[in-house]
Structure 1
Amino acid sequence: MMNKVTQDMVLKLIKSKDILYSLIDVRERTEYNKKQILFAINIPKSQVEFRISKLVPVKDTQIILYDNDESRSTLVAKTLGELGYTNVDILKGGLNQWEGHNEYLINGVNVPSKAFAEIVYEEEHVPDIEAHKLYERMQKGENDFTVIEIRPREEVNITGSIPGAINITGVDIIHSIHDYVDNEKDLIITCAGRTRGIIGTQILRKMGFQNVYNLRNGTMGWLLANQELDDNIPLVKLSCKSNSSKLDSFINQVIDENNIELISLDCYQDLRNASDHQTLFEIDVRTPLEYEEGHIPGTYKLPGGQVIQATDDHIGVRNGNIVLISNSRHRAVITAYWLKESGYPKVMVLDGGIELWKNSNLPIEKGEVQDDVPLGYNTSYKKGNRIVASELKERLESDSKLIVIDIDTSKGYQKGHIPNSLWLSRSWLEFNIREVAKESDMVILTDRNGYSSTLSAKTLKELGYEDVYVLEGGKKAWSEAGYTFENGKKGIIKEPDDIAYHPYEISEKAMIDYLEWEIGLEEQFKPLRAIYHPLQDFGGIMNKK
């Protein structure tokens, strides 16, 4: 019988600074963003097999699942049990029966990280510049400033940034800043909104730059000021050599005054050897290119700025061990500082980093890490029925009653799907399948690459559907066979709730609402001073002039 925990038990875990647990919201991202429990991570039901092993790597970790009632969390608990997780509970009654303690119910995306940045902004009086003021300086032809876009390259390539900006990503800024700016110029740091710009500005201030400013509200603020973004933003080449003595001194000061834990290679190896029963997150904070050129096997690629910006998307167990790795230690130390300040107590830095690992003649992997095969896939694949693209094409041309269900994301479905197929969210498959197919129907499942559809075929068979097939290789195989797609919303059975679009993808009002929400986070978190560590413990070198 499924074990159910009470609201009081969840609150006890949230208030703890040492109990290891994972509180998982299994609803869709849009639902989660509207209301969530403090410190909960989001793994929608459709993504559990894909993400759980990275977010909760130890299978006897205490896991608490919740949704609105108990319907989806009960199904996810069953799945986790089948995957070998042994300590899984669900929140009794779900969010619908949450009573009082509304200060523990928050809304938004990456809330702990973003709330922390707003606390830094208020406590440290981070200076900023309004978009219209920057534009006026540009119009006057002033050249006494440099705009630095701090977001990852992939993101900048999609959205563009401030005209004339250069792109130095995340914590890489500590290495490259001296090579590309004049100390007499103002430094203006920007991101899409607020968080990364605030943190980047504060890093530079504490490195000794006096004339550094955050572009208030980032590129969204720029768009709201009726200005255009530039798609051609040059990426600054990472430099790890210039001003090394000054940087070393700064990093040593951060370590000494904030008790940053440096660990030896032997200690790191001990942690790795115990990682089957002790939670360990191994994060390589360097650039994607550096990671691909050589990384420690089993480490997770996540540049330092993104660790700080979206911690809850990547670290799924509260109070677990975190080891950060960079070339030697500089970027890892800066990342560790911010993680400690934002409430992650067990953060360590591999002293000597990847260079020490290489010099010790230990194995190095190269290249991009391929997408992991989801847990349970191989078993489901062996038991399932397959159909190849050519056979499906023939059947579709001769059998108008054939039901093709695409369980890709709604965004992926709209971008391209097999003609006359229907879309259902895998998260809602058990609840909605009978609206489109009877148990006696022949059902073909597909998605991007065949992973989700293979797992879903198992679900349908458990529901009594016998004539179920999976398109071998998914829509990728269909495309490679030279067959065409339809696009658009036709065939979507239920209004999608699986994709949380960025505000700048929606409307001007969405951007305004988002920025007002970010600005209000510091005030929203004041009732939680007793447990939210940054409000209680904010201090250290970043407060020192």
Structure 2
Amino acid sequence: MINVPATALSSKEVRKRILARNKEELAIIDVRKAGYFSRGHLLWATSIPFGDLETKTADLLPRYSVPIILCSEDLNDESLICRSAEKLREFGYSNLFYLRGGVKSWKESGFEVFSGVNVPSKAFGEFIEKAHKTPSIGPQNLKKMMDTGKEFLILDSRPTNEYQNMSIPSGINCPGAELVLRIFDLASDPGTPVIVNCAGRTRSIIGCQSLKNAQIPNPVFALENGTMGWHLAGFSLESGARQFYGEVSAKGYRKAQEAVGKIAKQFGITKVDWKTVKKWKGEESRSTFLLDVRQPKEFESGHIKTSISAPGGQLVQATDQYIGVLGARVVLVDDLDVRAIMTATWLRQMGWHDVFVLDQPSCKELEVQGKHSPKTHGLDSASCKFIDARKLKVLLERKFVSLVDLAISSKYRDGHIPGAYYATREDLPENLNFFQKQYEVVLTSPSGQQALLASSDLRKMGVETRVLSGGTKAWEACGFEIETGLTRCFEEPADIWQPPYELEGDPDFAMREYLSWEIGLVEQIRLDGTTDFKIFPEV
């Protein structure tokens, strides 16, 4: 029997804690691979696979005394729970529990298990559409508008990379939190219909309803089923589109401020100064997340040192990727206020009680430039033996070493060192038994960091490996050959969730299944009974 350094909880005990999350904070962390997580998990679980604990916990779990409940598949996964708990204790987390019997036990207790990712956010979008009767337009009707030359405005509410991958013809990229800020410049004619789209449903619904809540005079619609619905209707998508919003005019900004002023009163959104936020972040009894909802380029040009980039539209669409503690306090940052206020209204409706907007002028002096650099637990104390790319190449040619690549499977597929085997940290050291004992094992990863952390863990278990200095990037920098494909895998990769339009086989079938799944979430959250979604009356 495995001695897990955490307290076991039954499914009923875990559910009781979930229902009390706004009285006592709680983090539910599923440590399985992301692919397994997407096949079935607790509604309020956050996915942090074992191999990502060092890199993701500091941002998602900022308070070291927060109660953490670890989840896995079933009793056979207790070794994974044990390794995860040991690692979290090394990082300084002290209040650890685990779901006895894992997700299997939860299901056997009669509780709902959810497939997919970002489920609370997606279920919330379906809830909003049903509660507000958010207007939508089908792809066939939109195509008729195009063909007849009628004036209309399509706003794609996704991040730029998604928009440029595939988009509706003539669509303008305007990520979700930007909509209310920029609509008065983009749709100056109040008679112009505005259609908001995303890839599927959630961001289209939230974006459309944001404009409805802002009471713009234009008719507004969500494109039914987004780009997937457009494709399934037989219409062509564009790739590489480059239509973007422009600068906000003084007049447009003034109108946006007036609109969100009314909305802030409706949803009870208040501002807080930096002195208070600094005090909150130092508290040991509450978790405080400081999230910058502006676009990534704005964040990089200047941000508060302790803030994290969380563009507003994505924060609502994938809340569990930014906030890992249920019942936490959330402070949103935006130098123009509009995006933070709109994002705050959606978080409040989603059931996050303590959401505030930072009074930005009080902290101008705290700005720093560049991307956010998350803290990596255990990196300072990690130790291993290194090997440079040129020496590794010689040893590989002589077949004197075995090489293991710890990149995510999609990166491994797109390019890896010839001869490298794909593996995940969860499966080490077992996978190393595959190699002949007389050969030294070298680990690599894109930058070398994951390989370093893995090698250091293996050393503690008495297994010696070496690490490619600088990772696979260093190999590529030398101009050495790279091969593609899932050429050498110990098992079918299950480390990532792939959107339906990226799946091999029959993507159209996968898209239809995905859209049906989204629509079905309203009934499933009713059966689950743990959501706290709200409708606020108009002021």
Q: What TM-score bracket applies, with the shorter chain setting the length?
A: over 0.9
Match in the other structure for 1:348: 356
CA contact (8 A) 2:173 2:243 kept: yes
SS of residue matched to 2:73: coil
Match in the other structure for 1:128: 136
CA contact (8 A) 1:410 1:499 kept: yes
SS of residue matched to 1:533: coil
2:194 to 183, 187, 191: 187
CA contact (8 A) 1:374 1:451 kept: no
1:480 to 460, 477, 480: 477
Match in the other structure for 2:402: 403
Match in the other structure for 1:417: 416
CA contact (8 A) 2:199 2:225 kept: yes
Distance 2:238 2:521 in 1: 30
Distance 1:73 1:453 in 2: 21
Deviation at 1:280, TM superposition (A): 1.2
Deviations along 1:85-127, one digit per CA (max 9) or x if unpaired, are 1111222121233354444322221111011110110111111
Residue identity in the other structure for 1:215: L
Change (3 A) 1:329 1:502: same
Q: Does 1:432 align with 2:431?
A: yes
Residue identity in the other structure for 1:139: D
Match in the other structure for 1:148: 155
Deviations along 1:99-158, one digit per CA (max 9) or x if unpaired, are 54444322221111011110110111111111111112212222x21111111112212x
Deviations along 1:354-399, one digit per CA (max 9) or x if unpaired, are x4422xxx231012234x362112211xx3111111111122222x
SS of residue matched to 1:493: coil
1:162 to 158, 161, 168: 168
Deviation at 1:427, TM superposition (A): 2.1
CA contact (8 A) 1:14 1:38 kept: no
1:462 to 451, 456, 460: 460
Match in the other structure for 1:29: 34
Deviation at 1:241, TM superposition (A): 2.7
CA contact (8 A) 1:175 1:238 kept: no
Distance 1:39 1:294 in 2: 33
Match in the other structure for 1:172: 178
CA contact (8 A) 1:328 1:356 kept: no
Match in the other structure for 2:48: 43
SS of residue matched to 2:250: coil
Residue identity in the other structure for 2:215: G
SS of residue matched to 2:325: coil
Match in the other structure for 1:111: 119
Number of matched pairs: 525
Distance 2:404 2:186 in 1: 52
Change (3 A) 1:290 1:177: same
Q: Does 1:378 align with 2:380?
A: yes
Distance 1:527 1:91 in 2: 21
Match in the other structure for 1:88: 96
Deviations along 1:494-526, one digit per CA (max 9) or x if unpaired, are 110012111111211111110000111112112
Residue identity in the other structure for 1:378: D
Distance 1:373 1:60 in 2: 17
Match in the other structure for 2:260: 251
Residue identity in the other structure for 1:5: L
CA contact (8 A) 1:406 1:413 kept: yes
Q: Does 1:260 align with 2:269?
A: yes
Match in the other structure for 2:208: 201
SS of residue matched to 1:377: coil
Match in the other structure for 2:370: 367
Match in the other structure for 2:13: 9
Distance 1:190 1:295 in 2: 29
Deviation at 1:229, TM superposition (A): 1.3
SS of residue matched to 2:183: helix
Distance 2:371 2:460 in 1: 36
CA contact (8 A) 1:74 1:90 kept: no
CA contact (8 A) 1:172 1:238 kept: no
Deviation at 1:433, TM superposition (A): 2.8
Deviations along 1:388-419, one digit per CA (max 9) or x if unpaired, are 11111122222x24111111111111111111
Deviation at 1:458, TM superposition (A): 2.1
Match in the other structure for 2:509: 509
CA contact (8 A) 2:195 2:222 kept: yes
Deviations along 1:240-299, one digit per CA (max 9) or x if unpaired, are 632444333322222222221321232123223x15663111001111122122111111
Change (3 A) 1:176 1:40: same
TM-score, with normalisation over the residues of structure 1?
0.93
Residue identity in the other structure for 1:236: Y
Distance 1:265 1:460 in 2: 44
Structure 1 segments unaligned to the other structure (5+ residues): none
Distance 1:218 1:224 in 2: 10
Residue identity in the other structure for 1:310: A
Q: Does 1:357 align with 2:363?
A: yes
Q: Does 1:57 align with 2:56?
A: no
Match in the other structure for 2:231: 223
Deviations along 1:46-102, one digit per CA (max 9) or x if unpaired, are 111110110001111111111112231211111111111111122212123335444
Distance 1:300 1:15 in 2: 28
Q: Does 1:66 align with 2:71?
A: yes
Distance 1:458 1:288 in 2: 33
Distance 1:431 1:14 in 2: 35
SS of residue matched to 1:448: coil
Deviations along 1:474-495, one digit per CA (max 9) or x if unpaired, are 0011111221111112111211
Residue identity in the other structure for 1:167: N
Distance 1:474 1:55 in 2: 26
1:307 to 308, 311, 315: 315
SS of residue matched to 1:394: helix
SS of residue matched to 2:304: coil
CA contact (8 A) 2:65 2:284 kept: no
SS of residue matched to 1:308: helix
Residue identity in the other structure for 1:75: R
CA contact (8 A) 1:127 1:213 kept: yes
Distance 2:168 2:525 in 1: 31
Match in the other structure for 1:211: 219
SS of residue matched to 1:379: coil
Distance 2:319 2:209 in 1: 19
CA contact (8 A) 1:117 1:199 kept: yes
Distance 2:372 2:43 in 1: 32
Match in the other structure for 1:298: 306
Distance 2:264 2:394 in 1: 66
Match in the other structure for 1:18: 23
Distance 1:516 1:263 in 2: 41
